[in-house]
A and B are shown apart, each in its own frame.
Chain A
Amino acid sequence: MAKPLFYDSARRGTPPIEEIRGAFKYRHLIFQLVRRDILTRYKRSFLGVAWTLLNPLGMTLVLTVAFSQIFRFQTPYGYAAYVLSGFLAWTFFSQTTTAAMVNLVWGGGLLNRIYIPRSSFALAAIGTGIVNMALATIPLLFVMIITEVPINISLIFLPVPVLLLAGFALGMGLLISALAVYFPDVVEMYQIILTAWFYLTPIIYPEEIIPEAFRIWVTTLNPMYHLVKLFRMPVYYGQFPTWQELSICILISVTMLVIGWWIFSNKSDEFSYRI
């Protein structure tokens, strides 16, 4: 295994490119980190990994009782499947971005000791999110069957919105990670922002109820609106998105990813004495 390694501090490539190379080289580490996250998450609980399935079901039940019975929201098909599909997309986003940031800030002691690509934690958070998302489609399908939402061939399109969501979440995760290194209370602040953002995105309510005056803020200018909608398309609505809908999401996802990656990798040299 004698790979001749040579490190020369004078030869410094473009940070974003180097970070990509590093992350690729350390893909085993990212895999191990995902494994660690998943193994440790449920290790000490009695039902173990079943919680990944039960959690969304419980959540759906609560939200359905609260909102479809009390507020009487009108949705094309069952409300339960509507809320769960939106909720899964949102949970993916909020959990992965938070995990990316928290892992970097609290697990960063390692970055002071040993060279590992700084983006490993964020990438691992996304990986964990994708695994959880894959598992959570099981209860989603279950709810759809029970509430008689038609399951369509369009379901095969689901990986695309997940991927775009992942790109957006990664960009966001990296951006707030870089911020959190400088200002630890970004971690707390972000939770408040997430809560506000959650209610300002049509997840638990149908977009039709938004008053005309606010609609542009809650829909057009809200990247998560587009991504959540794209996610609902193949499952809940049972149709393929239009080219326009798809390209907006690609644009949002790629832009966020590039911005996040760029800022993060350019700032990451300073992390080791900030953390």
Chain B
Amino acid sequence: MNSLIESKDLNHNEGPSTTADDEVIRLENVSVRYRVPQERIGTFKEYAIRWVQGKVKHRSFLALQDINLSILKGEVFGLVGENGAGKSTLLKLIARVLRPSSGRITVKGSVAPLLEIGAGFHPELTGRENVFLNGAMLGFTQEEMEEKFPRIVDFAELGDFIEAPLRTYSSGMWARLGFAVATETQPEILIVDEILSVGDESFQHKSLERIQSFKADGATILLVSHSMNMIEQMCQRAAWLSHGNLIAYGSTHAVVEQYLGQVREVESNRLSEESTEKPTHRWGDRRLEIRQVKIFNAKSQEQNTFYTGETLILRIDYFAHEPIPSPTIGVAIHRQDGVHITGPNTTFAGMDLGVVEGPGTVIYTIPYLALLEGLYSFTVATVNQEDTIIYDYHDRLYAFRVNNHGENVSERYGLMTMRGEWKRI
């Protein structure tokens, strides 16, 4: 197999170089329409009565709408989207559990899902018996499983526990066994749905490694996760689903960025809605009014998702309703949990604005955003020089998000990077 070469090509991330050969999953204009009763009719009697009365109303609901997508051999493909966006429906289509209402889907090769803890296992059966049962569900015979069995036990690190009933297992052991069975049966397509969050850290690490080696063998992996970190770490390409529509599709970085942008927008809309409702987020006599605050990147594009190490520019438009001598314009940065990170202002910076009147603008530039992954917000305020009169105070109204794994920063834990360097002497 030339799978190595293929996956190498994919690492260059040039989008789908679609030839029919390396396409393992292909969706053409796929829609899924669920027909659900408008009200929940639980009993047969009720149904019969309503049916006679002609009152059984069905509401149809589009779980997926006109999706065109192809997933290539040997890639790790990410699926992102809020809950109920249609990700599970898409997985069901690929797993052959559901048929599209219209359109066409083709899948080349065997598909194995990583079952969530418990599904497909029976607590009264021993680990060994469960392995064979699970194997049969994936379409394998007793003999085929016999052959894989030692490697499964080995990977799951169960030792003698394999002969004990599953009810005596810890949840980590369940997860390990499930993962071992699903991956050891070597499906051509593996579906991983938010599963790697279980188990301890060393097992997670092992699983990720296994997925990587899987990929190297030419298998295709579909990863669904709410962790953008994991998606970016693992996937070459990704798709973003929202309300059953395919919003973005292509290189992971671009898709994740768009997705996070949207998440932020929704969140800041919600925040600003809340702030208009709750005057507690804004106060002051408004003589020096803050008219508009915007966050930009180095290229002066509006943005509220950043990577650690990027340049962030905050632009503050104000309007002085009367001449105000030497006011102070300041900002504060808080983390979502309320940690106050910093509070720079014009006066501290030794900047005298003089007498301001009418409209004006200041910008505050952060050349290197040292914050690590998390949600943050800006507070923007105008006060007099002595900080005794508050003109306008916007408390934590301007949110932004920071993601790790930007250009050069790979630190993960804590609040910020010190930009320190390691050296062995």
Binding site for B on A (CB under 8 A): 1, 3-10, 12, 25-26, 28-29, 31-33, 35-36, 39-40, 43-44, 109-116, 179, 182-186, 189, 269, 272-273
* Cα separation A10 to B188 with both chains bound (whole Å): 21
* Cα separation A186 to B45 with both chains bound (whole Å): 10
Residues of chain A within 8 A of B47, CB atoms compared? 182-183
Min C-beta distance of A102 to chain B, whole Å: 14
Contact A116 B137 (CB under 8 A): yes
For this complex, 21 residue pairs linking A to B, each with C-beta atoms less than 8 Å apart, are: A8-B105, A9-B99, A9-B103, A28-B140, A28-B141, A29-B136, A29-B137, A33-B133, A33-B136, A35-B129, A40-B124, A44-B124, A110-B115, A110-B119, A111-B97, A113-B95, A114-B95, A114-B97, A183-B43, A183-B47, A269-B99
Contact of B42 with A by CB under 8 A? yes
Min C-beta distance of A36 to chain B, whole Å: 6
Within 8 Å by CB of B97, from A6, A25, A115, lies A115
Residues of chain B within 8 A of A110, CB atoms compared? 115, 119-120, 137
Contact B137 A7 (CB under 8 A): no
The chain B residue sitting closest to A185, CB to CB, is: B43
* Cα separation A116 to B137 with both chains bound (whole Å): 7
Within 8 Å by CB of B106, from A7, A26, A28, A39, lies A7
* Cα separation A115 to B139 with both chains bound (whole Å): 9
Instruction: Report B131-150 residues with CB < 8 Å from chain A CB.
Output: 132-133, 136-142, 144
Min C-beta distance of A15 to chain B, whole Å: 10
Residues of chain B within 8 A of A29, CB atoms compared? 136-137, 139
* Cα separation A35 to B142 with both chains bound (whole Å): 12
Residues of chain B within 8 A of A32, CB atoms compared? 132-133, 136, 142
Min C-beta distance of B243 to chain A, whole Å: 17
Within 8 Å by CB of A6, from B44, B107, B137, B142, lies B107
* Cα separation A185 to B48 with both chains bound (whole Å): 13
Given contacts A8-B106, A113-B95, A184-B42, list 18 more A-B pairs with CB under 8 A. A5-B110, A6-B107, A7-B106, A9-B106, A28-B136, A32-B142, A40-B125, A43-B124, A43-B165, A110-B115, A111-B97, A112-B97, A113-B97, A113-B113, A113-B120, A114-B97, A179-B44, A185-B42
With A10-B104, A25-B139, A112-B92 as contacts: A273 and B42 at CB distance below 8 Å: no
Min C-beta distance of A76 to chain B, whole Å: 42
A-B CB pair tally, cutoff 8 Å: 111
Contact of B291 with A by CB under 8 A? no
Contact of B122 with A by CB under 8 A? yes
Contact A36 B125 (CB under 8 A): yes
Contact A114 B138 (CB under 8 A): yes
Within 8 Å by CB of A115, from B96, B100, B133, lies B96
The chain A residue sitting closest to B142, CB to CB, is: A28
Residues of chain A within 8 A of B93, CB atoms compared? 9
The chain B residue sitting closest to A41, CB to CB, is: B124
Contact of B15 with A by CB under 8 A? no
Contact of B98 with A by CB under 8 A? yes
Min C-beta distance of A177 to chain B, whole Å: 14
Residues of chain B within 8 A of A35, CB atoms compared? 129, 133
Min C-beta distance of A258 to chain B, whole Å: 23
* Cα separation A35 to B131 with both chains bound (whole Å): 13
* Cα separation A76 to B107 with both chains bound (whole Å): 64
Within 8 Å by CB of A26, from B122, B139, B144, lies B139
With A8-B106, A114-B113, A183-B47 as contacts: A272 and B132 at CB distance below 8 Å: no
